[in-house]
Homo-oligomer: A and B are copies of this chain.
């Protein structure tokens, strides 16, 4: 049986995921729950962590390494942003130790403190560390509520861009006139021609988004399309707009796609349709690997 070396935690805005890890990055046990940063603002962070450590059966003296929103200003303790450009393998240098029994540290996020393109991430930097070799040069896409495109050069994160794609989908589908054009029970967008058509339109004319959204509604009023196609078209329009803009910023290069579930599949289909070569990496595995690399820097001597 392999020996537990540390506990890895991805502590986001609305979820907690923890893993009992070996020194070589294998997962021995896992725990997850809805106790994200928003939840802990009321309950405190320490009792939530203690509960999950007990669920993992983790020994009291095991070190704990956390990434994500627990390190935000409104989190447990602030782990101030590193600034771009920054080496990914230096993330551990910015880890903040929490004043709590045991050795609990939170990895920093990364900020692009450029007035012409200000941007921030917390959690994704750890996934990036996980999926890149130390001298990696290339482009990474992490789809989600706030999708991120990241340019890495020789192991340094040099620039990135966040797209509100997932959040725009939610607020438009729930709160705009398009709620009448969306069938929440419609099947997967990926299998729907309206997804591919919306995607191609957005790739061809990404500036047209505010018009294409109304056009989605008008197409149904005029009988050109069914409500069952609304979700797929909206998804295609938004993802296509993101990919077109990212390609114009970063060039049409091969992309490492860090994702999970249906959203990963949608982006894989969309990037392929846009002619972008992709390598897919699982998002949780990326977090586990990034936390392991940073943990080895911090405590590697004790692991052997």
Contacts and interface: CB of A to CB of B under 8 A. Distances in A.
**Main SS of chain A's interface residues?**
helix
Given A174-B175, A175-B175, A209 B209 contact: yes
A15 to B, nearest CB: 16
Say how many copies of this protein the assembly contains: 2
A172 interface: yes
Contacts of A164: 176-177, 210-211, 213-214
A119 interface: yes
Interface string A107-142: 000011101011110000000000000000000000
Interface of A: 111-113, 115, 117-120, 146, 161-165, 167-168, 171-172, 174-177, 205-211, 213-215, 218-219, 221-222, 224, 238, 241-242, 244-245, 248
B222 A120 contact: yes
Contact of A118 (B167, B174, B213, B218): B218
Given A119-B214, A214-B162, A218-B118, A207 B171 contact: no
Given A219-B115, A245-B210, A167 B176 contact: yes
Contact of A167 (B113, B177, B224): B177
Given A162-B214, A171-B175, 12 more contacts: A115-B224, A117-B215, A119-B214, A120-B222, A164-B176, A165-B210, A167-B177, A175-B175, A207-B244, A210-B241, A210-B242, A210-B245
A6 to B, nearest CB: 30
A146 B213 CA distance: 11
A238 B207 CA distance: 11
Contacts of A209: 209-210, 241
A219 to B, nearest CB: 4
A118 B146 CA distance: 30
Contacts of A168: 172, 176, 210, 213
Contacts of A162: 211, 214-215, 218
Contacts of A113: 222
Contacts of A172: 168, 171
A224 B112 CA distance: 12
Given A162-B215, A172-B171, A175-B174, A245 B208 contact: yes
A219 B114 CA distance: 9
Contacts of A205: 245
Contacts of A219: 115, 118
Contacts of A208: 245
Contacts of A146: 177, 214
Nearest to A120: B218
Contacts of A242: 210-211
Nearest to A145: B177
Nearest to A111: B222
Nearest to A165: B210
Contacts of A221: 118, 120
A111 B163 CA distance: 33
